[in-house]
Amino acid sequence: MKQKTKNLSFGQFRKLFPDNDVCLGTILNMRYGGENLDCPKCKRKTVYYRIKNRKCYECGECSNQIYPLAGTIMEGTTTELVLWFYAMYMFSTSKNGVSAKELERAIGVTYKTAWRIGHKIREAMGKGEDRIMKGIIEIDEALIGGAVRGGKRGWGAENKTCLFGIIERGGNVKVTPVENRERVNIMPLVRKHIEKGSVVNSDEFKTYHTLGEEGYDHRTVVHSKYQWAQGENYTNSIEGYWSNLKKSILGTHTYVSPKHMQKYLDEFDFRHNHRNNEVIFNEILKRAGMMTDTQVEENAWKLSDLYHETIIGKTDHEQEISRLVEQLKQEGYRFELLHSDHIADMYDRLQMVKRDKSKAVHDNWFEHASNLRDEELRLKEKLEELVYFTTGKDRTINFICAREQDEWIWKQRFIFR
Q: Which residues bind Zn ion (CB under 5 A)?
A: 39, 41-42, 59, 61-62, 64
Q: Is 217 exposed, middle or buried (0-12, 13-18, 19+ CB in 10 A)?
A: middle
Compare residues 66 and 175 and give the one whose CB is closer to Zn ion: 66
In the complex, what is the shortest distance from the CB of residue 53 to Zn ion, in angstroms, rounded to a whole number?
22
In the complex, what is the shortest distance from the CB of residue 60 to Zn ion, in angstroms, rounded to a whole number?
8
SS (H, E, C) 163-185: EEEEEECCCCEEEEEECCCCHHH
In the complex, what is the shortest distance from the CB of residue 36 to Zn ion, in angstroms, rounded to a whole number?
12
Query: Rounded to whole angstroms, how far apart are CA atoms 315 and 321?
Result: 12
In the complex, what is the shortest distance from the CB of residue 260 to Zn ion, in angstroms, rounded to a whole number?
41
Query: Rounded to whole angstroms, how far apart are CA atoms 415 and 14?
Result: 37
In the complex, what is the shortest distance from the CB of residue 49 to Zn ion, in angstroms, rounded to a whole number?
11
Compare residues 99 and 330 and give the one whose CB is closer to Zn ion: 330
Residues in the chain: 417
Compare residues 38 and 182 and give the one whose CB is closer to Zn ion: 38
In the complex, what is the shortest distance from the CB of residue 335 to Zn ion, in angstroms, rounded to a whole number?
22
> How many of the other CB atoms lie within 10 Å of CB of 24?
20
Query: Rounded to whole angstroms, how far apart are CA atoms 122 and 131?
Result: 17
In the complex, what is the shortest distance from the CB of residue 299 to Zn ion, in angstroms, rounded to a whole number?
21
| Residue 133 three-state SS | strand
In the complex, what is the shortest distance from the CB of residue 28 to Zn ion, in angstroms, rounded to a whole number?
15
Closest alpha carbon to 162 in 214, 205, 224: 205
Locate the DSSP E strands across 209-267: 217-220
In the complex, what is the shortest distance from the CB of residue 137 to Zn ion, in angstroms, rounded to a whole number?
50
In the complex, what is the shortest distance from the CB of residue 41 to Zn ion, in angstroms, rounded to a whole number?
5
Eight-state DSSP code of residue 200 = E
Query: Rounded to whole angstroms, how far apart are CA atoms 75 and 55?
Result: 10
Query: Rounded to whole angstroms, how far apart are CA atoms 49 and 35?
Result: 7
- Cβ atoms of 401 and 340 closer than 8 Å: no
Beta-sheet strand order (sheet of 136-145): 173-178, 160-168, 136-145, 199-202, 217-220
CB neighbour burial string for 108-137, b if at least 16 within 10 angstroms, e if fewer: ebeeebbbbbbbbbbbbbbbbbeeebeebb
Query: Rounded to whole angstroms, how far apart are CA atoms 140 and 237?
Result: 10
Please provide residue 317's backbone torsions phi and psi, each rounded to the nearest 5 degrees: -105, 30
Query: Rounded to whole angstroms, how far apart are CA atoms 71 and 89?
Result: 21
- Cβ atoms of 154 and 130 closer than 8 Å: no
In the complex, what is the shortest distance from the CB of residue 38 to Zn ion, in angstroms, rounded to a whole number?
9
Compare residues 319 and 364 and give the one whose CB is closer to Zn ion: 319
Query: Rounded to whole angstroms, how far apart are CA atoms 32 and 28?
Result: 6
Compare residues 39 and 187 and give the one whose CB is closer to Zn ion: 39
